[in-house]
Each structure stands twice: as structure tokens, then as C-alpha cells.
Chains A and B, each alone.
Chain A
């Protein structure tokens, strides 16, 4: 793949989730692509820790819905990477969200296309995770964990990966929605070995900032064709309902840390307690921090959730290939030969 010249792209997002288990993960991807559409971030890697092809397929459907709108040239830069999937793991069963994949049009054809039909259509996660980092400029990647730590714990063991994390990744943001969740051993390993800063979005934060279910009927009306996020929301459980925003809080902070949507704790250490829950202990030399709800920002946060998650996919032209070169001041201006 050709990479068109040197420029400072928006921060690259490596997104790992247990897609399919909770609706907030679907909304988080919509939010992520909303920010991507505003050029505040680029999704450079998508992987799932739920060892179910439908989990990878639903991620691909959502990714295609948004990133498929960009043109071929832009898609060539990091958008043709496959969806990674854990080969094995607990909680791999089907969920109501996967019914989105079965949706048919009036002719009986699948409404949402994807290319994941067997394990070989997915990527092995450690290679995908490492490869995504190798194409980011130093300090220009963020890792978002919106599920169990299974994949990241497996990936940090690869040779040189910790060095790559140190040089490429600003921070890891962990959503408390499913962490430590079903894989506390992986969570312990990740927290012990991750060589950089971690910001934790605890479960109570997302619980206190629910995504308004009414938005699904109101803010997506621009979609004249089926919308996978709308269909997923309706498939998750009977409408109307508001959804905890666990993974959305992690995404929003990760990409807009300076907007003061949340308060940030003093440094500390995140650990997994004996009962399998996340515990944050303040310590001056800790590399971890925790997000804290700011009641004054509640409306602002929910407004950002709604606006970004319901944003239209942005059709972007490939702006680099035809960009005019800046004039070289050391070079004399072209002089036309005399006739």
C-alpha cells in the first residue's frame, strides 16, 4: 500500500471490544466514527475479544457503514485492515444484537454486507495490534479497550510490542463496562505489564450518563437506508429504553481529553481485586488515572454522545494525493523561455 507523503494525520485509534454483548459498544463505535468524520481521529484497528464470528461481522458492518463512505484513495491508508478476533475465549455465545446481521430486504437479500464467514476472514489480534501501531507516528495512537482484556493481554507479549506502545501510544483508555469482567487474569496481566499511562472509565460513570433512547427515533431520521446502529439499538431490548454509556465515556474522553467532559483523578494504581472487580488506589507515582463524573457537565456530555453517534458518515475526498507542493523558496521561479 502506498502512503502519500509526510503529514500529521489525526490520532490513530486501536479499538478492541467484546462487540455484541452490550449496546453501548455499538454506540461507542458510532461515536468513534463520528469523531473520525470530523477528522479528530482515525480508526486504524478494530478487534473483538468475543470469539464469535458474528461479533467480528457486526464490527465490520458498522465499520463499512461509516468508513465505506470514504473514497478508495483514503481507504488505502489503514482502512483495509481486517477485523481481528480472539481465537478462543469465554462468553462466545450469540446475543440479540447479532440479529442485525440476519436482516433481509424485501427481496430476501442481506441488508448488511460483510466479508466474515470463517476464522480465516479475521485477523490474528497480536499481529493486527502490532501492525496498526507500526504505521502510527510517535505519540499519535490511542488504545481503547471496551471489553475484557483478553486480546491486549495476548498482544503485549509479542517481541518489541512494549517498545512500540511506549513510543506510539499516548494512553490506554479502559471502559469499565466489561472490565475486568469475564477475564480477570488477562486484566491483571494487562495492568501489570502495560508500559504506559492508563485512564479508567469506571462503570458508575457510564451508568450515570445514559444514552437517551429517544434519540434513536429522533436523531437518525436522516438515514433513508437501514442504519446498523438504529437496528442494533432496537434489537438489543424492547424500546423504549435508555442505555448506560460505559464504552462511550471511554471513547469521548480518549479523543477529547481537553473538553473537560469529566474530572480526572490524581495518579494511582488500577488493580483487580479478589472478587474480580476493578479497584483504583491513589498513589503519587501511579501511571493510572480514573475518570470522575462532573454533574455540571452532564448535559454537555449527553449532547456530545447524541450529536456524534448520530452523525452522518462523512464522504471525504482523498486530500493528499493531489495536494499542491509548497513552493521551494530556495528555487528560482520558473522563467518561460523567450519565444
Chain B
């Protein structure tokens, strides 16, 4: 982010937005801009270089990732804490979505595993949840491979899958009496997985029957950033609208991305440009990329706002954090992270303001506050020191 073109110089009611935020001008009453939130565990502390690996690994977990390319160790992410609590109410406890193909193994930043740079969501300290990158794969995950089939054909397909599960279940039960304790535990874990699949299928049957994706099945990954973003967010919108899930993470670009943006006339890689050494021409290109990203986000806000839900809109009932793991890409600093919340969280957030917190306020204080709004109450999370204030309606 080119900070000088992002940051606002006032606190309180949103007035004129900065150049990068300009696409959000029509939605000023729907967003909250937050300032001074910090991820101390993204900083080097004693681990040397690797800000990209750390900032992504710590972004939703609040812990400092272990510096290793093979022995990964991070922490459960805030989305998964919420998913563990309320995920059983929806078909997908959570969805993990991304846009940039990247390997999951090896060293991606100064000794930090690619698992840290390429995943936002972590089921636990050792298990990242890789995002779905291909729109077609996301479509099939949400609506099934036979989404283009008639409802009757989909029901037949589902029944066939279920009968296979019944067969597997019967077969394994017979084994149980002949096994020792260790194998019995393994079998129990296996049976639990089967039961989880059954549960998902049952929910899918009840959900899928009336869900219209409202779009044809995508063919693959579009080369154009905005087209890809739109496809992914269109499907996320349907997933939220149809209550397939209430929790998602969306890794728009990965840390250290070398993606170029030829569609807006920038053939250079994004990450190399961010090390602009304050050269105006390079800063201008980064600003244009930053603004382009916000423009896509604004288009999604428009879609969520125009999607009716109850007496309001889908946006009214959402809290979507738009942010970055580093503040100034040229400095690699982890304080005053660019952060916007879109939506009213079901009338639990009063948008339309810029809230400035005291310096060093942990980003995890925001995570705790958002978990509260989701009905998930946790005393501490990561390096939190409390809750953030100023989001309330009162």
C-alpha cells in the first residue's frame, strides 16, 4: 500500500476519501475505516527477515509463525474459532477462497514456509486450510458437480452417493469387535469423518434443491483480475445469501505476489513495485494497483447492498474486513495496518466513520470484537489486550 494515498487525515464521520479509497465514495455510509491496528507478531522480534511470511501467518491467528520451511507452526485463526462454534448450523462451516495459484510447500520467504504466505485460515497450529482458487472448483464445491443438472438428477446423484456411505458404514461396524484400542480409535476417527460427510450431504439435499447459482459453471481461472474477483465474490454472495456458510476468508493476492496488471497498463510485478524506494513513478503504479483492488471490492459491496435479505440487505447483515498484512510495502511495517470493515453486522456496527485507535493496539482486539458480534465469546486471542471500541451503534 502507498500509505500517503491510503490514509485519511481525520477522525470521525467519513468525509472525503483518499485516492485509493475513492471507489468506496458511494458506500461511505456502509464502511468503517480503522486506523492504528498493529500485528506485533508479524514483526521480526528475534526471527530476522521474512515479513511476508509472518504478516500473512499472523493476520488471522495473532501468533508469530515458526520460522521453518517444513516444521510449520502457527495458530488457529479467528474465522475457524467462529466456524467451530457456529459452523454446524450451515452446510459449510467456513469457506476458504483465494485468487492466486501458489505452492503450499517449501520456503516462500526467508525461511518461512509457503504455508504461511499462501493461507489465511488455520484449523489449528499445524493445519492451514488452503483456499479454493479456481472459480469452477468453487462452483462445484458450492453447488455440486451436477449443478447444471435438473433437481431430480441431482437428487438421484446424491442418493447414490449416500448408499455408498451406508455400505461403507455397515462394513466398518463389523470390523470393530476384532480391533485393538489403537486401531479402534483410528476407526472411530474414520467413522466420524463418514458421519460428517453424511451430515453435509443431508444438508446439501435440503439446501441445493432450491439454490439457483444464478450463473453458468465457470470454465476455469480467468486471466483478468477483475473477472476472477467478480466470479469468486458472486459465488461468495450466493453462499452467504443462501446461508451455505456464515464464515469465509478470501486471500485476494498472496504475500510477495508477482502478479502483473496489464489490464490497467501495469506489466510489472506487484511485489517488486512495492519496493519503490519512494520513486514517484513506481509509487504511482502501486497506487493504481491499490485503487484497482478497492474498485473491485466496491463493486462487491454494491452487489451485497443490492441483495435483499429480510428488511435490509445482505451487506447490512455482514461484516467483511478488507485489509493488508503490511502497512507500507516499502517499509514492511506491521503497525497501522490498512483496515476497512464493510457492513453493519446485523445492526451491531455503526458504519460511516473512521475510528482511530491508540498506537500499538493489537489487530487481535478487532478479531475479539468481531467474534463477540458473531456470538462467540473468547477471553483472549493471540496478543489481544481487550476489545476495540467505537463500533457500537450507541
Contact = CB atoms under 8 A, between A and B. Distances in A.
A203 B168 CA distance: 80
Interface stretch (B171-179, B246-254, B354-362): B354-362
Nearest to A87: B358
Interface in B2-61: 11, 35-36, 38, 40-41, 43-49, 51
B43 A122 contact: no
A131 B357 CA distance: 17
Given A124-B385, A159-B380, A3 B360 contact: no
Given A124-B358, A131-B383, A134-B40, 20 more contacts: A1-B331, A1-B334, A3-B44, A3-B46, A3-B47, A6-B48, A80-B333, A81-B360, A82-B359, A84-B360, A120-B11, A120-B36, A120-B356, A123-B359, A128-B359, A131-B40, A131-B360, A134-B43, A135-B43, A135-B44
Contacts of A266: none
Contacts of A50: none
Contacts of B44: 1-3, 135
Contacts of A134: 40-41, 43, 45
Q: Which of A1, A84, A130 has the most CB of B within 10 A?
A: A1
B358 A119 contact: yes
Nearest to B110: A2
B332 interface: yes
Interface in A124-160: 124, 126-128, 130-131, 134-137, 158-159
A71 to B, nearest CB: 15
Nearest to A82: B359
Contacts of B362: 127
A2 B332 contact: yes
Contacts of B48: 2-6
Please tell me the size bucket of the interface on A.
20 to 34
Given A1-B332, A126-B385, A158-B385, A120 B358 contact: yes
B47 A127 contact: no
Q: Which 7 A-B pairs have the closest CB atoms?
A: A3-B44, A123-B360, A123-B359, A82-B359, A127-B360, A131-B40, A120-B356
A121 interface: yes
B368 to A, nearest CB: 12
A81 B360 CA distance: 8
A1 B43 CA distance: 6
Contacts of A119: 358
Interface string B344-372: 00000000000011111110000000000
Contacts, number: 79
Interface string A1-14: 11111100000000
A220 B80 CA distance: 59
A203 B128 CA distance: 56
Contacts of A81: 360
Contacts of B331: 1, 76
B40 A127 contact: yes
A123 B358 contact: yes
Given A120-B359, A124-B361, A124-B385, A1 B40 contact: no
B359 to A, nearest CB: 4
Interface string B313-339: 000000000000000000111100000
Contact of B385 (A82, A122, A127): A127
A237 to B, nearest CB: 33
Contacts of B385: 124, 126-127, 130, 158
Contacts of B49: 2-4
Contacts of B359: 82, 120-124, 128
18 contacts: A1-B44, A1-B332, A2-B48, A2-B49, A3-B45, A82-B360, A120-B35, A120-B36, A121-B359, A124-B361, A126-B385, A127-B360, A127-B361, A130-B383, A134-B41, A134-B45, A135-B43, A135-B45
Nearest to A137: B46
Contacts of A120: 11, 35-36, 356-359
A1 B358 contact: no
B46 A1 contact: no
Contacts of B333: 1, 80
Interface in A62-81: 76, 80-81
A5 B38 CA distance: 23
Q: Which of B49, B362, B385 has the most CB of A within 10 A?
A: B385
A16 to B, nearest CB: 15
A32 to B, nearest CB: 21
A130 B43 CA distance: 13
A262 B358 CA distance: 40
Interface string B244-285: 000000000000000000000000000000000000000000
A77 to B, nearest CB: 9
Contacts of B35: 120
Q: Which of A3, A80, A122, A137 has the most CB of B within 10 A?
A: A3
B264 to A, nearest CB: 30
Contacts of A130: 40, 383, 385
Contacts of B356: 120
Nearest to B51: A2
Contacts of B46: 3, 6, 135-137
B173 to A, nearest CB: 45
Interface in A304-338: none
A165 to B, nearest CB: 15
A124 B360 contact: yes
Contacts of A128: 359-360
Contacts of B332: 1-2
B38 to A, nearest CB: 8
Contacts of B47: 3
Interface in A153-172: 158-159
B84 to A, nearest CB: 21
Interface in B133-157: none
A290 to B, nearest CB: 33
A158 B11 CA distance: 29
Q: Which of A127, A130, A136 has the most CB of B within 10 A?
A: A127
A3 B36 CA distance: 21
